[in-house]
Amino acid sequence: MKKSMFAVLAFIVAGAGLWISPYWSMSGLAVAALDGDSYGMGEHVDFPALRENLKGQLTARMTEELSSGESNGFQAIGVALGMMMVDKMIDQFVTPAGLAALVKKNIPQVTERPSRVTVTYRLLAQSDMTWSNTSRVHFGSADDNAARFVFQRSFVSWKLIGIEMPGDALKN
């Protein structure tokens, strides 16, 4: 009887750990961003996968714009030049230091840094997280007006592998 109770308890703890672990990873990324800690951000982001994700989205949007038939010749040339520059721009800016600087510049400065536990609790209470499978989760609303953060599990840790941009984020 004790062995079966222990097994059930272990199963419940493992399930709770699996469920809360993406929130813990997202909170680690948020705290590192608040601190401007590029090394801390590097622990929570798979930069090669994130770069490929962003390059693919930008290239697809530019190709869509070019093939829409609504652009004039100068716009088409601009889009074609932009497509050539996407790879180099993404490689240049999507780095631990680049993301830390971008986030630190664009978030309001706080006088008191929240703890990781506090950030995790806030994420649990306010965040919209969906599981696409047992190894991938999406943080953010599923509507087209907000970016979504995609995390993928690697054994027991989670890393940011993509940012799904809103439908009209790159228009014009």
What is the distance, to the nearest Å, from the Cα of residue 165 to the centroid of all Cα atoms in its chain?
Answer: 10
Alpha-carbon distance of 83 to 126, in angstroms, equals 37
Residues 6 or more apart from 75 whose CB is under 8 A from it? 65
Identify the pLDDT of residue 69.
64
Q: Which residues, in sequence order, are CB contacts of 99 under 8 Å at separation 6+?
A: 33, 38, 41, 45
Domain ranges for the chain: 2-164
Q: What is the pLDDT of residue 47?
A: 92
Q: Compare 125 and 41 and report the one with higher pLDDT.
A: 41
Residues 111-167: pLDDT tens digits?
777 777 787 777 777 767 888 888 898 887 766 677 788 899 887 788 999 988 876
What are the tens digits of pLDDT across the range 94-117? 888 887 777 666 566 667 777 777
Q: Is the pLDDT of residue 170 over 60?
A: no
pLDDT at 104: 67
